[in-house]
Amino acid sequence: MTRRGADPIYGVAIGAGRTLFGLLRVKPTVHGAQHLPKTGGAVLAITHFGYMDFALTEWIVWLRTRRHVRFLATKGAFDKPGVGFVLRGMRHIPVDMKAGADAYRAAVEALRDGEMLGIFPEGGVSASFEVRELKSGAIRMAAEAGVPVIPVAVWGGQRLLTKSAGSTLREKFGLPVGFAFGSPVVVSEADDAAAVTFTLQHTLQTLVGSLQQQYPVDGTCAWWQPARLGGSAPTPEVAAVAEKARKERKAREAEAREAGPKGKRG
């Protein structure tokens, strides 16, 4: 059963998003919205090129179906004052990187309860603006819960906010953003999750390609356009090296923070 009408904080968040995107005069173009289920559980497998992709997807899904999307978010975000209150009020699901099984079980339970769950199967923002290799969690959750996977491509949202790049407020004003919802992927626990995930990656890249072809702004030499299409974004190979270095740096910083108090006690 899909829960409706009992999310006041989510309603406020949707209102804030509509106000923000309205003030910026974001121009959405939507393809395949008929694939969004009006009721019942579903996994939205979403491309991830910008930090606003979740809010943009929530906005369009609500406009087309009046349904709420639950997202998996890091436990650290839930621990932040104010932010955690909002995330809990919107019934998003916390993910503890050291205990991911708990989040997985909560996600499957939510899907069985009729929720629409938003997942970024790339595991992070793609700085190359190409669809990266996907993790299989989205497919495995859907198979276990017995719900479909809806491929979702978002293009142009990276121009609002993303990592290692940015645009001026003037450039954000009147921004076109394309959305493409693919045909539902029906998967069972008998299927090869890795093979279905590989196919999903190809589907997402195809959807992104169609949005790029129709995008009304020339991206030649632009930072938000893939190098393959004449943009100045890093290639997937260069972006992967930078991402590896970033993760290693964050791991060292985390180790230093944990060692700090121990060192002082000694």
- Residues 87-137: pLDDT tens digits? 888 888 888 767 678 889 999 999 999 999 999 999 889 999 999 999 999
Distance, CA of 7 to CA of 90 (rounded, Å)? 7
Which pLDDT belongs to residue 266?
Answer: 46
Which pLDDT belongs to residue 89?
Answer: 81
Q: What does residue 215 show for φ and ψ, rounded to 5 degrees?
A: -65, 130
pTM of the model: 0.89
Q: Residue range 159-184: average pLDDT?
A: 91
Which pLDDT belongs to residue 1?
Answer: 42
Q: Is the pLDDT of residue 156 over 90?
A: yes
Distance, CA of 142 to CA of 188 (rounded, Å)? 8
Which of 160-169, 187-196, 247-256 is most confident?
A: 187-196
Q: What does residue 185 show for φ and ψ, rounded to 5 degrees?
A: -100, 115
Which pLDDT belongs to residue 66?
Answer: 94
Which pLDDT belongs to residue 246?
Answer: 83
Q: Residue range 187-210: average pLDDT?
A: 97
Q: What CATH number does domain 8-218 carry, 3.40.1130.10, 3.30.360.10, 3.90.660.10, 3.40.50.300? A: 3.40.1130.10
| Lowest-pLDDT range of 133-147, 206-220, 232-246 | 232-246
Name all contacts of 230-233 with Cβ < 8 Å and 24+ positions apart: 231/129, 233/127, 233/128, 233/129, 233/165
Distance, CA of 79 to CA of 84 (rounded, Å)? 6
Q: In this structure, are residues 184 and 109 in contact, taking their beta carbons and an 8 Å threshold?
A: no
β-strand pairing of 149-155 with 176-181: antiparallel
pLDDT band at 6 (very low <50, low <70, confident <90, very high): low
E strands, the chain, in order: 27-31, 42-46, 69-74, 93-95, 116-119, 149-155, 176-181
101 strand-pairing partners: none
